[in-house]
Amino acid sequence: MRVALALGGLAALFALPFWLIPAIDPEGSGFWQHIFVTIFVFAAMACAWNILGGFAGQLSLGQTIFYGIGGYAGAMLNQHFGLIPWFGGIVGAAVAVAVAVFIAWPCLRLRGPFFALSTIAFLEVIRLLAIHFKDFTGGSAGLPVPMFVGTEMRIGWAWMLFREKENYLIIAFGLMALALAVSWLVRNSRLGFYLVAVREREDAARAVGVNATGVKLAAFAISAALTSLVGTFHGIYLNFIDPETMFSLPTAIQVAMFALIGGLGTVTGPIWGTLLVVPIAEAARGWLGAAANGLHGLVYGLVLVGVVLTMPKGLVGSIGPWLKRRFGGVAEVDSAARIQPPAPAAPGEERPPVGEPLLEARNLVKKFGGLVATSDVSITLREGEVLGVIGPNGAGKTTLFNLLSGFLPPSSGGVRVRLADGAWVSPNSPHGFAAAGVARTFQIVQPFTGLSVRENIMLGAFHGTRSAVEARRIAEEVAATVGLTGLLDAEARSLTVGGAKRLEVARALAMKPRVLLLDEVMAGLNPADVQQAVELIKRVRDSGVSVIAIEHVMAAVMALSDHIVVINSGRLIAEGPPSEIARNPAVIEAYLGEEYAHAAA
């Protein structure tokens, strides 16, 4: 139904200029036709930018680098080699992808405004290069699009030059539809889920096996290729290209603003933002002419301020959920009321015996400058085992978890994991540990708040499948296991603390790990939730998943653990079965003080 509505909307948008222009421009001045070509061009560029800036959350203000590359590729190959612009567009897109990877590799290491500033710097460098190599680019004087071979005019689809101006509308609309289709495909694919996860919480994304740098590079490359194709057509349409126009910072900002006004991270938002702003600004510029030079910039600013103040999520992001509730029958969800007990164990299901070592950490040391967070810590986890890690606050337990999952590199020592085929590997990154079968939760729960419960769990499921259908099926099965079936369509931000912790466990379980690291999943829960968490962990253990659990709820640790290690001040001070640990004077002293240890003795 949604696809049919989207296709119907696109068909209406395509028919609109052919129906409207003859009515409002009977003399055929070409003014409104130019406005619609501009709308389609900027909408296509905004959709392409949204893949990087909206889905991945990377605020690039140098997007016209690729627009200019496409424009110059089409014009230069035409002028110097007589090649048709369609071929120039393909070459330009390939060059744009290469340049995007070259730019993104160092820039993606930056965060916040520094990334945006670095893209502006690259834009200025490439603009100056276009000016410098004037033998090829025409320098600051620009480059006209060749329209004649001898005395014969290059007219027709091969050269993208037409006497019938409606053909420009068809090509511009086709580019917008292509950008929209690619945007939709990306958003509904595993890559799209990964991009949104990286945008929301990069550490949590890495924990479910996402190569954050790789997916951001992919978004950069796709966005660059689409933008370059648009630049090739628009350069031919304008009949003249120059560095100031093709590598324009104001144009790059406008494209980002259209996506922001329409709704960052939404598929159709960039188109709605462009449809709102461009006609108003272009009409003001055309009607007022030189008497109000720059007024279109004021229009952009006023619309942006109005949308940010009244609809901070943009047009689609703010109006879309209201329309779903109003006409789609989607009701508000009471997350506390819809959380259910975990699914019971199957009749006759028995716990598997403790087997061979599965994960080994040897002599782990982690130093932060002069601070030693862990010192010579060694642990072994066996198949089918629950290994408890306890110790007072600040003992170094979470640092140990970060070493066991690749979020921190050890200063010395190492971690190795046994794969299903018996081979041992020593991963050195979060996605490497995830590939080896290690999943984890976080001490401070990290759900992807902008996604639904189903989509959160699907992110874990995508670790083992590329199919969205299969990932959805796995998500629904895991949700039933942890008692979240009634909340699959709720946003993760609406969950209670207990619900959010269950969701994080579910996301990890959807990865189908062999080792599960649980970092204080019972912290802040009421006694009933603690009991349900204990039953859930037992069910996970009985399914064949080995567990390492950091926990302060001592009764739960003692009930669950087969083996316990105790850490204090970064050192392992005791290990053994729960019955021994409970009576160990060193453990009592670490928790309660020396006088209590003497009293217990």
Torsion angle (degrees, nearest 10) of CA 577, 583, 586, 587: 70
**Is residue 248 located within the same domain as residue 134?**
yes
Q: Which residues lie closer than 8 Å to 215 by C-beta, 6 or more apart?
A: 56, 191, 194, 195, 198
Q: 80 falls in which pLDDT band (50, 70, 90)?
A: confident
- Residue ranges with strand state E in 220-290: 240-241
CA distances (Å), origin 53, targets 47, 65, 98, 224, 265: 10, 15, 19, 12, 8
Contacts of range 161-168, beta carbons closer than 8 Å, 24 or more positions apart: 161/236, 165/30, 165/33, 166/18, 166/33, 168/33, 168/37, 168/237
Q: Please write the tens of the pLDDT for every residue from 423-477.
A: 999 998 999 999 999 999 998 889 998 899 999 999 999 998 999 999 999 999 9
Q: What angle do CA 356, 361, 363 make, to 5 degrees?
A: 135
pLDDT, mean of residues 411-416? 94
Amino acid at 486: G
- CA 390/CA 595 separation, integer angstroms: 20
The continuous run of DSSP H or E covering 273 comes out as helix 269-288
pLDDT at 151: 56
- Give ∠ CA 375-380-381 in degrees, rounded to 5: 130
Token duo for residue 294: 């720059």
Residue 539 and residue 399 share a domain: yes
pLDDT at 439 (0 to 100): 95
Report the pLDDT value the prediction gives residue 532, as an integer from 0 to 100.
85
Q: Residue 295: what pLDDT?
A: 66
DSSP 366: E
Q: Is residue 373 part of a domain?
A: yes
Taken in order 266, 270, 272, 276, is the CA torsion positive or negative? positive
Give residue for tokens 């160092």: 106
pLDDT for residue 599: 52
Percent of the chain exceeding pLDDT 90 equals 50
Mean pLDDT on 285-310: 72
Task: Answer yes or no: do 256 and 365 share one domain.
Answer: no
Whether 290 is covered by a domain: the verdict is: no
588 in any annotated domain? yes
Domain of residue 95: give its range: 30-270
Of residues 176, 229, 210, 219, the one with CA closest to residue 53 = 219
Average per-residue pLDDT for the chain: 86
Which run of H or of E encompasses 547? strand 546-550
Q: What is the DSSP string of 42-70?
A: HHHHHHHHHIIIIIS----S-THHHHHHH
Among candidate residues 270, 302, 327, the one where a domain is terminated: 270
- 127 shares a domain with 240: yes
The token pair at 434 is 């995830």
pTM: 0.88
> Residue 90 pLDDT > 60, yes or no?
yes
Task: Extract the tokens encoding 326.
Answer: 């109003």
What's residue 185's pLDDT? 95
Q: Number of H helices and number of E strands within the chain?
A: 26, 14
Q: State residue 12's pLDDT score.
A: 85
385 plus 237 within the same structural domain: no
- Does the pLDDT at position 329 exceed 90? no
The reply to whether 496 falls in a domain is: no
What Cα–Cα distance (Å) separates residue 484 from each residue in 62, 168, 278, 337, 480? 43, 52, 45, 11, 6
Is residue 312, in this structure, part of any structural domain at all? no
Instruction: Please say if the pLDDT value at position 274 is more than 90.
Output: yes
Q: Is 112 helix (H, G, I), strand (E, B) or coil?
A: coil
3-state DSSP call for residue 207?
helix
Domain end position, chosen among 249, 270, 291: 270
What residues are paired with 388 via a beta bridge?
A: 549, 564
Distance from C-alpha of 581 to C-alpha of 307, rounded to nearest angstrom: 60
R_g (Cα) of the chain, nearest Å:
29
In a shared domain, residues 260 and 406: no
Q: Is residue 34 part of a domain?
A: yes
The answer to whether 470 and 458 have CB atoms below 8 angstroms apart is no
Answer yes or no: are the C-beta atoms of 65 and 103 closer than 8 Å: yes
Q: Which of 132, 131, 148 is nearest to 140 (CA)?
A: 131
pLDDT tops 60 at residue 571 = yes
Lowest mean pLDDT among 233-237, 411-415, 589-593: 589-593
Q: What is the per-residue pLDDT for 113?
A: 85
Question: Which residues have a Cβ under 8 Å from the Cβ of 126 and sit 6 or more positions away?
Answer: 65, 68, 69, 99, 247
Instruction: Check which CATH number belongs to the domain holding 586 and give it.
Output: 3.40.50.300
Domain final position from 270, 299, 331: 270
- Residue 327 CA to its chain's centroid (Å): 29
Interval 38-78: pLDDT, tens: 999 999 999 999 999 999 999 999 999 999 999 999 988 88
Q: What type of residue sits at position 560? A: L
Counting every residue written for the chain, the total comes to 601
Residue 307 lies in a domain: no
Tell me how far CA of residue 272 lies from CA of 36, 315, 463, 496, in angstroms.
13, 7, 34, 35
Residue 483 lies in a domain: no
**Structural domain count of the chain:** 2
Q: Poorest-confidence range of 34-43, 241-250, 294-303? A: 294-303
Structure tokens at 524: 């802040």
- pLDDT tens, residue by residue, 333-342: 555 556 666 6
From CA 301, how far away is CA 275, in angstroms rounded?
A: 15
pLDDT digits (tens, 9 = 90+) for 339-375: 666 666 555 556 778 889 999 999 999 999 888 899 9
Q: How far apart are CA 596 and CA 580, in angstroms?
A: 17
Residues 258, 400: one domain? Answer: no
- Residue 136 pLDDT exceeds 90: no
Residue 380 burial class via C-beta count within 10 angstroms: exposed 0-12, middle 13-18, buried 19 and up: middle
- Percent of the chain predicted with pLDDT > 70: 89
